[in-house]
Amino acid sequence: MYENAFNQIERHLRAEEGIANELDYVEQTSWVLFLKYLHDLETERQDRAELDGKDYTPIIDDDYRWDIWAAPKTSDGEFDHNTALIGDDLIKFVDQELFPYLASFRQSATGPQTIQYKIGEVFTELRNKFRSGYILRDVLEVIDGLSFNTQEQRHELSQLYETRIRRMGNAGRNGGEYYTPRPLEQPYLTGPM
CATH classification of the domain holding 160:
1.20.1260.30
Question: Which has the minimum average pLDDT: 13-27, 33-47, 152-166?
Answer: 152-166
The CA distance from 22 to 134, in Å, is 20
Check if the beta carbon of residue 37 is closer than 8 Å to that of residue 189: yes
The CA distance from 68 to 84, in Å, is 8
Q: List, in order, residues 6 or more apart from 181 with CB less than 8 Å away.
A: 122
pLDDT given at position 25: 85
The CA distance from 48 to 54, in Å, is 8
- Per-residue pLDDT at 190 exceeds 70: no
**SS3 of 79, please?**
strand
2-35 burial, b for 16+ CB within 10 Å, e for fewer?
A: beebbebbeebbeebebbeebbbbbbbbbbbbbb
Q: Which domain holds residue 113?
A: 2-190
**SS3 of 73, please?**
strand
% of the chain residues with pLDDT over 70: 83
Check if the beta carbon of residue 147 is closer than 8 Å to that of residue 85: no
* Per-residue pLDDT reduced to its tens digit, 90-120: 999 999 999 999 999 999 999 999 999 999 9
Count: domains in the chain: 1
Q: What are phi and psi of 73, to 5 degrees?
A: -120, 155
pTM over the 0.85 mark: no
Mean pLDDT of 57-70: 94
